[in-house]
Chain A
Amino acid sequence: MTTTEARPTERKPPQLVDMSWDPITRIIGNLGIYTKIDFANREVVECHSTSSLFRGYSVFMKGKDPRDAGFITSRICGICGDNHTTCSDYAQQMAYGVKPPPLADYIVNLGEAAEYIFDHTIFQDNLVFVDFCEAMVKSTNPGVLARAESTSAPRGDIHGYRTIADIMRAFNPFEGEVYKEALKVSRITREMFCLMEGRHVHPSTLYPGGVGTMPQPTTFTDYLSRLMRVIDFVKKAVAMNDDVFDFFYEALPGYEEVGRRRVLLGCWGAFQDPMTVDYRYETMNTWGKQMYVTPGIIVDGELVTNNLIDINLGLRIMLGSSYYEDWVNEKPFVTHDPLGNPVDMRHPWNQTTVPVPQKRDFDDKYSWVMSPRWLDPRTGDHLALDTGGGPLARLWSTALSGLVDTPYVKATGHSVRISLPKGEKLPETTFEWRIPQWSNTIERDRARPYFVAYAAAMALQFLEEAMGLVRAGETKVFENFEVPDEAIGCGFHEAVRGVLSHHLVIKDKKIANYHPYPPTPWNASPRDKFGTPGPYEDAVQGQPIFEENGPDDFKGIDIMRTVRSFDPCLPCGVHMYVGKGKTLTTLHSPTYGANHG
């Protein structure tokens, strides 16, 4: 088993209550969390994560023109659709054997950097912080709020708030300063995105082979002026997050156990180096390591591999608790990769999706999500990797590999140093994200603003280099290609909330097989055939409960913080079931606290 070991505690006779949240709010899609909570020992005993949503992209993509894949797969998501387009283009470029001109890759990188800044800001400040805001903490842990009132904020000189409670008030939805400013910032960062990719969130100017963006000097200067407007906001966000999260560790001793799981992180890398990437499978190891977010798999704090070919070959899609028929008896599409390595039947290239709708049964099959795992060649374990909400795995992997060394970002082997230039009010600032002790709720949330800073810093470098190309007259942004009769391709990218891969098989110039694997199938996966629970289940199971409310007015804030820390991407109202036969249906407004004040 690859799960987190149980935490040893002194036990009282259990007082078990079923508690369920289905669907979970402030995330996208139909994610349900079903738990058994032991109120006597204040911990979660059992957890099942379930999705009642079937999409079937892999089913209806078959037979379509592969050139359409980027436009179709973009519609998988309404918030990170461009990540799918980018990833699909990477896979197609491998299949077509085309390398876009460097300026096109810079434009894609700049668009993606704007997306990371936009999405992380809106998710963190407008959705995650509702769980940490004054109104919420008042109703779940009034003792903690009282302490926050008297705790001064150590980084107040940067963000301007005197006490921790002042920051929490700024987080209050609809009326808090941070909440409102984050909305304004998300408009600016969205404009940055649109300058590069034409439209948010389904890009209109990204194609395999290059981009349709007109690379004129103003494209880049308009982007730069917007980036410089938000740069101080980013610096403040990092400082504020550190203050609040440090306070939680201090005010609630043992809070590090909330959402803690064994360090099993996966990152597929982002930001190609436009000068070296050629999108060929054979050289994927080389250009993969040159990405500006290094890919990697981290097990127990140790880097297992940062070779994209190894990462690709180790992918296994397991069934066990999912509503699908197995495909092992189907004909494989790809038996060997272009380097001659055997490709497993459970690899996405060979997967066939055969849905079998049925009743939900937590002892058997209970979710539409499959269970993607990574086969550890050292132990033979099928690892249930998580993405740490995206930023945690990206920063961890980049820090451990120590390969990124740029003017604004430097990976040291144990940390990542990010330098941001002088903004309107705040001076030049260098942040250092250090590899944390745990992979838990707080660290997942803390990594997010650091990655916003990371993306902003990388964007500055991409801008300088792209403007250099424009000044030299190298304004070519598209390369012609022919669609081959038969080809295979794979794309590895980072969606905002973590790993993203697209696997493509072309036959007769049409798509024979197409499997996108976004981050949430990894994070929300149910138990596989070995019984290994998925990351949400594993993180929530066994976690202590710090909420002061009892079973009658229980909000499940600690569980919600854990699930949301993964940035789940699976809309609104809370449906809650308490105990046996007593159904409590609470209809909430979309965001908690809407009626507050």
Chain B
Amino acid sequence: MGSIRVGRAQARPDTPRHVMGMHQGNRGPYKDQKGHHEDGTADARRSTGIHWKRHDTLAETMPNISPG
């Protein structure tokens, strides 16, 4: 901070960047989040846990979009 006179710091200057063992958001949800596929698509399991297979599309060729 150049030549500015400052008092004693009351805060710890820096906390660790990442705590080992914590989930990192940038690693992706696929392992923990049901219904999300590796290729980026998703099925009805993403939106509900109740009779979710019955909420999926009728045919494989149809896109599986959220019920919202």
Contact = CB atoms under 8 A, between A and B. Distances in A.
Interface of A: 59, 63-65, 67, 101, 207-209, 214-219, 325, 354-357, 470-476, 478, 480-483, 509-510
A473 B13 CA distance: 46
Nearest to A63: B14
Contact of A475 (B25, B26, B42): B42
B65 to A, nearest CB: 6
25 contacts: A63-B14, A65-B17, A65-B18, A67-B25, A208-B26, A209-B26, A215-B66, A217-B68, A218-B68, A354-B1, A355-B1, A355-B2, A355-B4, A471-B63, A472-B63, A473-B41, A473-B62, A473-B64, A474-B40, A474-B63, A476-B39, A478-B29, A480-B28, A483-B26, A509-B17
A207 B28 CA distance: 12
B49 interface: no
* Majority secondary structure, B binding face: loop
Contacts of B64: 473
Contacts of B17: 64-65, 509-510
A230 B17 CA distance: 44
Contacts of A101: 40
B67 interface: yes
Contact of B66 (A59, A217, A478, A482): A217
Nearest to A98: B26
Interface residues of B, number: 24
Interface string B4-23: 10000000011001100000
Contacts of A478: 28-29
A325 B65 contact: no
A105 to B, nearest CB: 14
Given A207-B26, A214-B66, A218-B68, 15 more contacts: A63-B14, A65-B18, A208-B26, A214-B68, A215-B66, A354-B1, A355-B1, A356-B3, A471-B63, A472-B63, A473-B63, A473-B64, A474-B63, A478-B28, A478-B29
A147 B7 CA distance: 62
Which one of B2, B14, B29 has the greatest number of beta carbons of chain A within 10 Å? B2
Contacts of A219: 68
B1 A475 contact: no
A455 to B, nearest CB: 25
A472 B14 CA distance: 46
Contacts of A509: 17-18
A207 B29 CA distance: 14
B54 interface: no
B27 interface: yes
Contact of A216 (B2, B27, B66): B66
B52 to A, nearest CB: 15
Interface in B31-49: 39-42
Contact of A217 (B18, B26, B42, B65): B65
Given A65-B17, A208-B26, A476 B41 contact: yes
A21 B36 CA distance: 57
Nearest to A482: B26
B4 A216 contact: no
B22 to A, nearest CB: 12
B65 A357 contact: no
Given A65-B17, A355-B4, A481 B41 contact: no
A471 B65 contact: yes
Contacts of B26: 67, 207-209, 480-483
Contacts of A482: 26
Contacts of A475: 40-42, 65-66
A207 B26 CA distance: 9
Nearest to A469: B63
Given A354-B2, A473-B41, A475-B41, A207 B25 contact: yes
A91 to B, nearest CB: 15
Nearest to B57: A473
